[in-house]
Structure 1
Amino acid sequence: MSLEYLLTAFIICLSPGIGVVYTLSSTLGGGIRAGFWAATGCTIATVLHLVIAMAGLAAVLHTSAVLFQAIKFAGVAYLMWMAWAVLRDRGGLSVSPSEAVPPGKLVSRGILLNILNPKIPLFFVAFIPQFVPAGSSAGLLIELGLGFSAMTFFVFMGYVAIAATGRQRLMQSERAMNWLRRVFAASFAALGLKLASEKA
């Protein structure tokens, strides 16, 4: 696994997206523990997308407009629901201090949020082969995929650490919490609109 690959994967993982927004909001609402489970769910989704891509299902998504659109709009609907729930400061999606959300719910929500983006397996099909020399074995593909998944988890845990550091101070300001709620709701809505505009 080359340094160039790891650096590229790091930059990609660092870019704000659905998983980052979800992990940050979970951390602010439930602390490091919640952030850990949210990051775990997002990482599991990455592994599942890699499996889909390597199994060739990404090609099916690319050629089947109906399947692509069905998955895409399911993802859009879920993101819009997340935006509404955060804006209403609702239960487990609250960015305010709340009762502990079960790990299973945090993980499953992270998986669902990310698995409903059909562009991710297509991205892996385009990204990973750039770092695979001709004639390489399937083992190298698996190694690169697992390396990307590990990078995803560690980068997301970095976001968790940053959010947890400023959590106590933010919680003491009602105005700051109200703005955070609006920012996260707007982020989920914007990501939903972006996903809606994607083409296979």
Structure 2
Amino acid sequence: MTFEAWSVFLAAAVLLCLSPGANNLMALTNGLRYGVLASLVAVGGRIAAFAVMIAITAVGLGAVLAASELAFQVIKWAGVAYLAYLGVKALRSRGEASFDGEAAVKAQSLGELARKEFLVAVGNPKAILIFTAIFPQFLVPGEPALPQFAVMGATFLVGEVFAALVYVVSGKCFAPLLRDRASWMNRITGGLLLAAAGLLAAASRRA
């Protein structure tokens, strides 16, 4: 892959990563509730899920999954159901929420936060479609495909970390405005997660 091709891919990847999808809305929510450090650690779950998806795409299984309407719908609606569950759970919470990042994380382990990020990412079949439709367009004919996928995959994952940082910091910036208003935080958190479920539910097979 030439530097010029990589530069174009980098710009496309950053724009894709910054788009307001389910995981970015979750990062915004986590930044609001748990602070920057814990939320960024939790992003490791998203990165792990996307790394697996990129590997699947690289070995050719991504095309098979992308072509399966049943697989797409099952994965999509499982993701929608999980996000809706988290959103309703947040809306039904009664005042126990905290804007003190350290105190809030004590009630929910970093592993649990990462697990939620992982499940939301895995429940988004649009990611497989993106990797299957966009990555091959940047492959240089005649050169080994796997090393090129590795470069593009690493670039995309770095873009995801950058995007997560943007959303996490944005959420953290809003936290002082809602300090000591736990009911409002629960409503905002629940609303954001339900919005993420809505975005995922509206996703079509058109990449």
Deviation per residue, 1:118-141 (Å, 9 max, x gap): 221121011111212211212111
Q: Aligned letter for 1:183?
A: G
Is 73-82 or 102-111 further displaced after alignment? 73-82
Task: For residue 165 of structure 2, give the secondary structure of its aligned residue in structure 1.
Answer: helix
Is the 8 Å Cα contact of residues 91 and 190 (structure 2) preserved in structure 1? yes
Alignment counterpart, residue 45 of structure 1, candidates 37, 45, 49: 49
Instruction: Note the 1:141-180 alignment, pairs <5 A.
Output: 141-173=149-181, 177=185, 180=188
Q: Which residue of 2 aligns with 1:109?
A: 116
Q: Which residue of 2 aligns with 1:136?
A: 143
Is the 8 Å Cα contact of residues 95 and 183 (structure 2) preserved in structure 1? no
Is the 8 Å Cα contact of residues 44 and 111 (structure 1) preserved in structure 2? yes
Aligned alpha-carbon RMSD (Å): 2.6
Deviation per residue, 1:135-193 (Å, 9 max, x gap): 12121111111110111112211221222233223225568536524531441331242
Cα distance in 2 for partners of 1:131, 1:185 equals: 33
Q: Which residue of 2 aligns with 1:126?
A: 133
Alignment counterpart, residue 99 of structure 1, candidates 97, 104, 116: 104
Is the 8 Å Cα contact of residues 71 and 117 (structure 1) preserved in structure 2? yes
- TM-score where L is the length of structure 1: 0.85
Q: Aligned letter for 1:162?
A: S
Deviation per residue, 1:28-59 (Å, 9 max, x gap): 11111331123222222211111121122222
- TM-score where L is the length of structure 2: 0.82
Where does structure 1 lack aligned partners over 5 or more consecutive residues?
none
Is the 8 Å Cα contact of residues 66 and 128 (structure 2) preserved in structure 1? no
Task: For residue 99 of structure 1, give the secondary structure of its aligned residue in structure 2.
Answer: helix
Identity %: 29
Alignment counterpart, residue 81 of structure 2, candidates 70, 77, 81: 77
Task: For residue 78 of structure 1, give the secondary structure of its aligned residue in structure 2.
Answer: helix
Cα distance in 2 for partners of 1:95, 1:57 equals: 43
Question: What is the total number of aligned residue pairs between the two structures?
Answer: 197
Cα distance in 2 for partners of 1:40, 1:114 equals: 11
Cα distance in 1 for partners of 2:95, 2:80 equals: 21
Q: Which residue of 2 aligns with 1:20?
A: 24
Where does structure 2 lack aligned partners over 5 or more consecutive residues?
none
Is 43-52 or 94-103 further displaced after alignment? 94-103
